[in-house]
Chains A and B, each alone.
Chain A
Amino acid sequence: QVQLQQSGAELMKPGASVKISCKTSDYTFSSYWIEWVKQRPGHGLEWIGEILPGSGITNYNVKFKGKATFTADTSSNTAYMQLSSLTSEDSAVYYCAKGNYSHWGQGTLVTVSA
Chain B
Amino acid sequence: DIVLTQSPASLAVSLGQRATISCRASQSVSTSSYSYMQWYQQKPGQPPKLLIKYASNLESGVPARFSGSGSGTDFTLNIHPVEEVDTATYYCQHSWEIPPTFGGGTKLEIK
Bound Cα distance A81, B44 (Å): 24
B63 contacts chain A at the CB level, 8 A cutoff:
no
Q: For chain B, give the interface size range.
A: 10 to 19
Interface residues of B in 28-74 (CB under 8 A from A): 38, 40, 46-50, 53, 59
- Which residues does chain B contribute within 8 Å of A100, judged by CB atoms? 50, 53
Q: Which of B48, B53, B91 has the most CB of A within 10 A?
A: B48
Q: Are B38 and A101 in touch, CB under 8 angstroms?
A: yes
Cβ of A45 and Cβ of B102 under 8 Å apart? yes
A107 at the A/B interface (Cβ < 8 Å)? Answer: yes
CA distance A62 to B93 in the complex (A): 18
Q: Which of A47, A62, A63, A95 contacts B100 (CB 8 A)?
A: A47
User: Min CB distance, A6 to chain B, in Å?
Assistant: 9
Partner among A37, A44, A101, A105 whose Cβ is within 8 Å of the Cβ of B104: A44
B residues less than 8 Å from A46 (CB atoms): 102
- Classify chain A's interface size: 10 to 19
Q: Mark A91-114, 1 if CB is under 8 A from B, else 0.
A: 000010100111011110000000
- Chain B's closest residue to A63 (CB) is B99
Q: Taking the complex as formed, is A59 at the interface, i.e. its CB lies under 8 A from any CB of chain B?
A: yes
- Tell me, yes or no, whether A61 is within 8 Å of chain B by CB: yes
Interface status of B87 (Cβ within 8 A of chain A):
no
Q: Roughly how many angstroms separate A46 CA and B93 CA in the complex, as a whole number?
A: 10
Complex CA gap A114/B50 in Å reads: 36
Q: How far is the CA of A62 from the CA of B98 in the complex (A)?
A: 9
Report the separation of the CA atoms of residues A75 and B109 in the bound assembly, to the nearest whole angstrom.
45
The chain B residues found within 8 Å of chain A, CB to CB, are 38, 40, 46-50, 53, 59, 91, 93, 98-105
Nearest 6 Cβ contacts at the A-B interface: A104-B47, A45-B102, A61-B99, A47-B99, A47-B100, A101-B50
